[in-house]
Structure 1
Amino acid sequence: MSLQINIDNGGTLTDICILSDDAVRKTKVLTTPYDLSKCFFEGLTKASGVLYGAPDVKRLLEEVDLIRYSTTQGTNAICERKGPRLGLILDASAHDLPSRLAAHDQDVFEALVGDRIAFLDAAAISADEADVAVAKAINTLTAAGANRLVVSFGGADFQALENDFRLVALRKYPRHLLGAVPILYGSDLTTDPDGERRTWTALINSFLHPSMEAFLYNAENRLRAYRTKNPLLIFRNDGDASRVAKTIAIKTYSSGPRGGMEGVKSFSRRYGFADTVSIDVGGTTTDIGQYIDGTVAEVRRGHVEGISVSFPLCEILSAGAGGSSIFKVVDGRIVIGPESVGAVPGPACFGRGGREATITDASLLIGLFDPTSYFGGGMGLDADRAAAAVTASVASRLGLGLDDALLRMEFAYEEKIAAELHRFTKISDETVMLAFGGAGPLNACGVAEKAGIRRVAIPQMAAVFSAYGIGSCDVSQRYAVTLSDAAELSGTIAALKVKASRDMFAEGCADGTYTLDARLVADFGDGRTLVHVLGDQLEVPAAFAGARSVEVELKAVRSLREGAERSARFAPRSSAAAHGKRNVLIRDRGRIDVPVYRLADLADGDFASGPAILEEDYFTCRVPENWQFVISDAGDILLSRED
């Protein structure tokens, strides 16, 4: 039997998708941000219980073929500005570089670097006074509070300058000494000729590195103790996976949302949707993407919080609003996020010490959740604590009754996500909104109405959709180097192939088990790029003449992808049978009883109209008035406006 475990680690909840020959199963655990390896193994333990009827993680790890892991921790760290204090060492000739870097995003630059910047004359690095100059720069920054350093020089010889600095730093601060501060060099990650982009790439990678390194190596070491036969694979933001030792931190940024976008591609193709916008609502963020005519948007120079970096990234917007985002009243209006209560202490209704109001608290008080069945019945909800939080944070500050405050919170939450949809995507009459994540289906129809979208799809696996989506990834390694001379092309390709062979061997892939693809990319510096796929003839095309830079890109891929997904359809056949009723607060109607439909009880073609609640163990969907839902032959849901 083939057995795969996909884990998507979010800010509040960690999702587990279990794929075997006969079924797809799911479960969730609370994220433990103080030790991510704890929720990682709690997830494996719970998954073994789902599979075997009782927890047996030892048996699971003996039988599992693949464990894939993705995370939103990098996204959340950047969004919430939580990470190490960085120091930045620059070439003295680039005195205006800090202001140019800050121009990309002043707030992020202040959070990561601030005024911890040292300038160093490039000529001094290779002179007799190099030891003094380097030591002075490092000591100045560490004294200012920097606990990690980034070195980024400019000019055509930036790699040589950074190597010279490295030699001096290693001599003055050997790594075995306790006082050796970690130093990252921009050229370690990329030879991108754009200095601003290269520096931001190094800063973001350095910011994310400590937490990712500590957790991933800890998790991998614990897996080794169980003698797991295959290594942990880290799903990256380029859509593929690699071992921990072959993954850099910035590649984990937005990897969870990218898993969701892989799922969006598969889902849209299954139902023939040509234009799909997606909202992946977790505890801390709402990740927004778009699929159009067979593909999701990916740019060669991706963006982190709107900041251009040197690596390709799927175009996903992470808005600071999720199920655990904090509601505040600012200047008489309700503001949501980006701060989140996270998994610890969590929303007030979780009863773990949280006192801030969240949409989870509001939804419980509105009547959308059953406190006894929430989270599969594994977590009781405390309505009194939720009411106290909403009253203190919102109602009393606006002079409102509790119900009025709840409706305003719900409206503000839906408005914010709808506004972000319009800011980041293009919406047409044909657009379908795909809602997933633990909190995605809850207010999906309300968001769609405010965004002008008339159809909403919810996957059966919505609660763990990003974990489900990473199940189709390949193992790969990617390389990019700047080509300084066309005559060096053959030698450059040969060197990259040797590196690929070594790295893929480290991935457990012998020669002949993976494919190699090479291409040239010319950047003309005016927004124009040309791509030339390299075959047997290794030559630079004449059209590349005049390019500002030419990069050689090589990709080694071991395919793990399964066959094409079968098609499915939505076709109403018979009225759905309600499971029960729930008293729900509805705008302009007050509190009324509405039917509750359990997804597990519904069959192909079952349909019903709102107001209603549609739910399963790990998600709840509010079906408003004038909306109808229908179940597909694959068990997925389509909601449509009726008027």
Structure 2
Amino acid sequence: MALQINIDNGGTLTDVCIMADDVVKKTKVLTTPYDLSKCFFEGLTKASGVLYGAPDVKRLLEEVDLIRYSTTQGTNAICERKGPRLGLILDAAARDLPSRLAAHDAEVFEALVGDRIVFLDADTVNGAAAEVEVVKAINTLTAAGANRLVVSFDGSDFLALEDRFRLIALRKYPRHLLGAVPILYGSDLTNDADGERRTWTALINSFLHPSMEGFLFNAENRLRAYRTKNPLLIFRNDGDASRVAKTIAIKTYSSGPRGGMEGMKAFSRRYGFTDAVSIDVGGTTTDIGQYKNGTVAEVRRGHVEGISVSFPLCEILSAGAGGSSIFKVVEGRIVIGPESVGAVPGPACFGRGGREATITDASLLGGLLDPTSYFGGGMGLDVDRAAAAVTANIATPLGVSLDDALLRMEFAYEEKIAAELHRFTHISPQTVMLAFGGAGPLNACGVADKAGIRRVAIPQMAAVFSAYGIGACDISQRYQVTIEDPASLAETLAGLKVKAARDMFAEGCAAGTYTVEARLVADFGDGRTETFALAEPPVVPATFAAARTVELELKAIKSLRSASEKAAAFAPKAPAPAHGKRNVLIREHGRIDVPVYRLADLTEGHFAAGPAVLEEDYFTCRVPEGWQFVISDAGDILLSRED
């Protein structure tokens, strides 16, 4: 295996997975939201120390074959509503479009656009007064505080109208002027015939673009200075990767969680699981997905916060509850998130100025976390600061003791994630819950109990599982156009193949090193779609004549995927040796001493029953009373509810 570095950037921690030969190693660094390139290079530096015994980032970047990067920054930005203020220019013939857009998610629409909307008549855009009206529309929105604009016309001639608007805007507001406001057109991203999807796709892309662009190009430029062999690859939410200049912002949304889904597919196949749900718990969100019938759910028109967009996305729910999510008391009850303290200032126990209560603070005070060994011993935790935060924000407002507040926080946290599991997935008696992410294993059994799940699997690489999961992705470019006239199919397909060849060359893939797949997708307007794989010569099936729209989809793929994982199994063989004891707060028992098991001390077949604590350098798992764990021959963990 070539030397590969996979980096998954989260809101609180950035995970690094190092793959060299048959060895997989991991490390983590704190995310630096004020400059993501800082934690990116800190991760590379720390990875070089893990690999060589001492930090040598120059050597690492000379020897590394592939660097893949995924991020939850887009997911967190949408979840926390942090981004630019957008202005929206729409076709006057579609005055009901804002209300239709808001119907997808009124809160997100208000956060992104609000009342910063201007309508322009198509005749005006094509008429003699076009320049005056376009300038007036742009000035109105910028005066209202918009710092990025989205233009999305409706009707069959939306492409021509947006091109006309573009010419005027470039002439009146050339891009070289200081302070020029960026304008994104719906047709820049897709020619999806559905105006609502097309407009939402442009809005979300425009909202995410600034933060993604600034960091990714800066990181790539710094990598070039080290003369790395290949460009940085961005892992996308469609499960493949491409270089920075060939990636759009919306395709970074949920790319980190999608890495976890790729890992879940491989893990489930390795152990023969046929029905699995996942909780990927980071600092800001818990990302939930499901594996069934040999794959994870992906829809051709994906969803962002429930909003339908024009591109395929894996079905993942991002719930606003993570290790750094803020707990507060509202009207006598505990409310969690979606606000997060992230890595800066972080939970109060980090000692970086945070004063809000988080589940990380509660877990420390409850005895689950060791303040001296947390984060591989690289970060000491402050018990007094954690106690002050929980007392001020939870115990005092509720009028309860500190220990009671901790138990209530734990219960509320587990209840919220269990409720989201039931809302988004289908749980059956055969369902296994896969728990990963830095905070995923911590309360996994409690979540499973409340969700009615009796088995929980924790990968050995749980702490960096999303980074691990992106390690087998391919390089690809995807295209999609509407076919208006069946006679134009051959010409349109030939044009897309030329574009694919140009883009794959830019990816560093010469002709003959990648494959091309093309298909037609017919939408019959009644919720029914049909697909048809194209061969030579390409033809439109006669049955597609009744379709509302027919789209040509083409994908160019450079395969990087390795052979499938070997099968593994869980079989108890010998009692696990305890590393020591820890005094832990347990419901109905109070504070008692329980055994602590270190994953590094355990081998195939080791087992033990709760109450206990199971941990490694970057994750901790509570094993409650009534649960037992066993280690597989691959080093993974299965926890089961005892009968």
Compute the TM-score of the two structures, normalised by the length of structure 2. Answer: 1.00
- Is the Cα contact below 8 Å between 1:68 and 1:232 reproduced in 2? yes
AA of the residue aligned to 1:166: R
CA contact (8 A) 1:435 1:444 kept: yes
SS at match of 1:569: coil
Distance 2:210 2:481 in 1: 26
> Superposition pairs for residues 72-151 of structure 1, below 5 Å?
72-151=72-151
- Is the partner of 1:140 in helix, strand or coil? helix
Distance 2:165 2:591 in 1: 68
Match of 2:638 in 1: 638
- Which deviations, in whole Å up to 9, do the C-alpha atoms of 1:212-232 show, x marking residues without a partner? 000000000000111111100
What's the counterpart of residue 235 of structure 2? 235
Q: Which amino acid aligns with 1:238?
A: D
Structure 1 contact 134–168 (Cα < 8 Å) conserved: yes
* Displacement after TM superposition at 1:31 (Å): 0.2
1:620, distance to aligned residue in structure 2 (A):
0.1
What's the counterpart of residue 356 of structure 2? 356
Q: How far apart in 2 are the matches of 1:22 and 1:480?
A: 38
Residue type of the alignment partner of 1:252: T
1:23 lines up with 2:20 in the alignment = no
- In the other structure, the counterpart of 2:450 is 450
What's the CA shift for 1:462? 0.0
Q: Indicate if the aligned counterparts of 1:271 and 1:569 stay in contact, CA closer than 8 A.
A: yes
Q: Which amino acid aligns with 1:623?
A: V
Matches within 5 A, 1:576-587: 576-587=576-587
Are residues 1:338 and 2:329 paired? no
- The reply on whether 1:629 has 2:629 as its aligned counterpart is yes
Segments of 4+ in structure 1 off by > 4 A?
none
Give TM-score, length-normalised by structure 1. Answer: 1.00
Whole-Å separation in 2 of the counterparts to 1:123 and 1:502: 37
Residue segments in structure 2 that go unaligned for 5+ positions in a row:
none
- Residue identity over aligned pairs, in percent, reads 85
User: Hey, what does 1:417 align to over in structure 2?
Assistant: 417
Partner of 1:548: 548
**Contact preservation (8 Å) 1:581, 1:596:** yes
Name the SS of the counterpart of 1:538 in structure 2: coil
1:164-200 per-position Cα deviation (integer Å, ceiling 9, x unaligned): 1000000000111113210000001001100001000
1:202 aligns with 2:202: yes
1:294-309 paired onto structure 2 within 5 Å: 294-309=294-309
Name the SS for the 1:250 alignment partner: helix
- Identify the residue that residue 251 of structure 1 maps to in structure 2: 251
Conserved? CA contact 1:458–1:637, under 8 Å: yes
Cα distance per residue 1:224-260 (max 9 Å; x no partner): 1111111000000000000000000000000000000
Distance (whole Å) between structure 2 residues aligned to residue 103 and residue 130 of structure 1: 31
Tell me which residue corresponds to 1:492.
Answer: 492
SS in structure 1 opposite 2:188?
helix
Pairing 1:266–2:262 present: no
In the aligned structure 2, how far is the partner of 1:145 from the partner of 1:187?
Answer: 24
Q: Is residue 173–residue 179 contact of structure 1 (8 Å, CA) maintained in 2? A: no
Alignment of 1:224 with 2:224, yes or no, is yes
Residue identity in the other structure for 1:332: G
The more displaced of 13-22 and 532-541 is: 532-541
- The CA distance in 2 between the partners of 1:22 and 1:48, in whole Å, is 17
User: 2:497, 2:231 → 1: CA distance?
Assistant: 23
* Whole-Å separation in 2 of the counterparts to 1:314 and 1:293: 15
Contact 1:609 1:629 in 2 (8 A): yes
1:268 is matched by which residue type in structure 2? S
Partner Cα distance (1:31, 1:120) in 2: 43
Inter-partner Cα distance in structure 2 for 1:178 and 1:498: 36
Question: What is the CA–CA distance in structure 2 between the aligned matches of 1:157 and 1:540, rounded to whole Å?
Answer: 24
Q: Distance in 1 between matches of 2:543 and 2:238?
A: 28
1:124 CA displacement: 1.2
1:438 aligned onto 2:438 = yes
2:376 and 2:427 map into 1 onto residues whose CA distance is 35
* 1:261-317 deviations in Å (ceiling 9; x for gaps): 000000000000000000000000000000002000000000000000000000000
Q: Secondary structure at the match of 1:561?
A: coil
Match for 1:140: what amino acid? T
Specify the code of the residue in structure 1 equivalent to 2:560: L
Q: CA shift at 1:128, angstroms?
A: 1.3
Q: Distance in 2 between matches of 1:12 and 1:486?
A: 51
C-alpha distance in 2, partners of 1:483/1:552? 7
Residue by residue over 1:484-521, the C-alpha shift from the partner in whole angstroms, topping out at 9 and shown as x without a partner, is 10000000000000000000000000000000000000
Q: Which amino acid in the other structure matches residue 265 of structure 1?
A: K
Question: Partners in 2 of 1:523 and 1:577 — Cα distance?
Answer: 59
Q: Is 1:213 paired with 2:249?
A: no
Q: Which residue of 1 aligns with 2:509?
A: 509
Which residue does the alignment assign to 2:60? 60
Rounded Cα–Cα distance in structure 1 between residues aligned with 2:394 and 2:537 = 67
Which residue in the other structure is 1:388 paired with? Answer: 388
| Residue in structure 1 matched with residue 603 of structure 2 by the alignment | 603
Give 1:535 shift: 1.1
- 1:315 has 2:309 as partner: no
Once residues 480 and 588 of structure 1 are traced to their aligned partners in structure 2, the CA distance between those partners, rounded to angstroms, is 58
Write the mapping of 1:153-192 to structure 2, written as runs, cut at 5 A: 153-192=153-192
Q: SS of the counterpart of 1:238?
A: coil
Distance 1:212 1:593 in 2: 47
Separation in structure 1 between the aligned mates of residue 161 and residue 549 of structure 2, nearest angstrom: 20
Deviations 1:50-86 (A, max 9, x none): 0011100000000000000000000000000000000
Structure 1: gaps spanning 5 or more residues: none
Segment drifting more, 135-144 vs 122-131: 122-131
Q: How does 1:528-567 map to 2 (within 5 A)?
A: 528-567=528-567
- Further displaced range: 258-267 or 527-536: 527-536
- SS of 2:591's equivalent in the other structure is strand
Q: Output the CA distance in 1 between the equivalents of 2:225 and 2:475.
A: 24
1:365-414 per-position Cα deviation (integer Å, ceiling 9, x unaligned)? 00001111000000000000000000000000000000000000000000
Residue 537 of structure 1 and its aligned partner are, at CA, apart by: 3.0
AA aligned opposite 1:101: L
Contact 1:9–1:71 (CA<8 Å) still a contact in 2? yes
Quote the RMSD (CA, aligned, Å). 0.5
**Partners of 2:46 and 2:543 in 1: how far apart?**
57
Displacement after TM superposition at 1:543 (Å): 1.3
Deviation at 1:22, TM superposition (A): 3.5
SS in structure 1 of the partner of residue 429 of structure 2: coil
Q: Could you report, residue by residue, the CA deviation over 1:319-341 in whole angstroms, capped at 9, with x for unpaired residues?
A: 00000000010110001000000
